[in-house]
Amino acid sequence: MNTFTKTKLLAATLLLATSMANFAGDLTVKREITVNASPETTWKLIGDFNHLDVWHPVVVASELTEGNSQSTGAVRVLTLGNGDTITEKLVELNNDDKTYSYAITASKLPVADYVGTITVKPAENGQSMVTWSSTFDAATDVTDSDAIEGTAGIYVAGLTSIQKHFQ
């Protein structure tokens, strides 16, 4: 790799890290679940940025409005069962490591400056550990505990659905 290419790669990495830091908040939520499928099989279900409607029980539709589901910068609009929408931007994707991070750019959820990450890792006996984590701030007029509880509930519903899919 020549010096120019290395410099461009370093600049892109720093830009990505800076943009993610600009989104990140002070609160955190992390939930994990073991599923009875290999990491490769699990990633096929959840690794596509535009497939949240396939495995999360509250999401009834996912539509890409910018980019494609395998490129950073892609934007998806999720439609929930109650008709509300959430707009999210893919800020990092690594299929080799089976992880992606995204930022919520518009929603009625009780959070602000939200960045979430979904990761699949190997677990014992050929199973997978799925981790869903985030940093965020509570939205205006919402307590930190309500924002944490609401986010955790979303994660538990999604992770439980993934686990049931592979039973």
Distance CA 20, CA 58 (A): 26
Where do the structural domains in the chain lie, given as residue ranges?
24-165
Flag whether pLDDT at 13 surpasses 70: no
Planar angle of CA 95, 105, 22, nearest 5 degrees: 80
133 contacts 28 by C-beta, under 8 angstroms:
yes
Distance CA 143, CA 151 (A): 12
Q: In terms of pLDDT, which residue wins out, 44 or 17? A: 44
Using CA atoms in the order 64, 90, 133, 80, what is the torsion angle rounded to 10 degrees?
A: -20
List, for residues 90-113, the tens digit of each pLDDT value: 999 999 999 999 999 999 999 999
Flag whether pLDDT at 4 surpasses 60: no
Give helix then strand counts, H and E, for the chain: 4, 7
List, for residues 33-51, the tens digit of each pLDDT value: 999 999 999 999 999 999 9
Residue 7 pLDDT class (50, 70, 90 cuts): very low
Flag whether pLDDT at 125 surpasses 60: yes
Q: Was domain 24-165 assigned CATH 1.10.645.10?
A: no
pTM: 0.84
pLDDT, position 25? 77
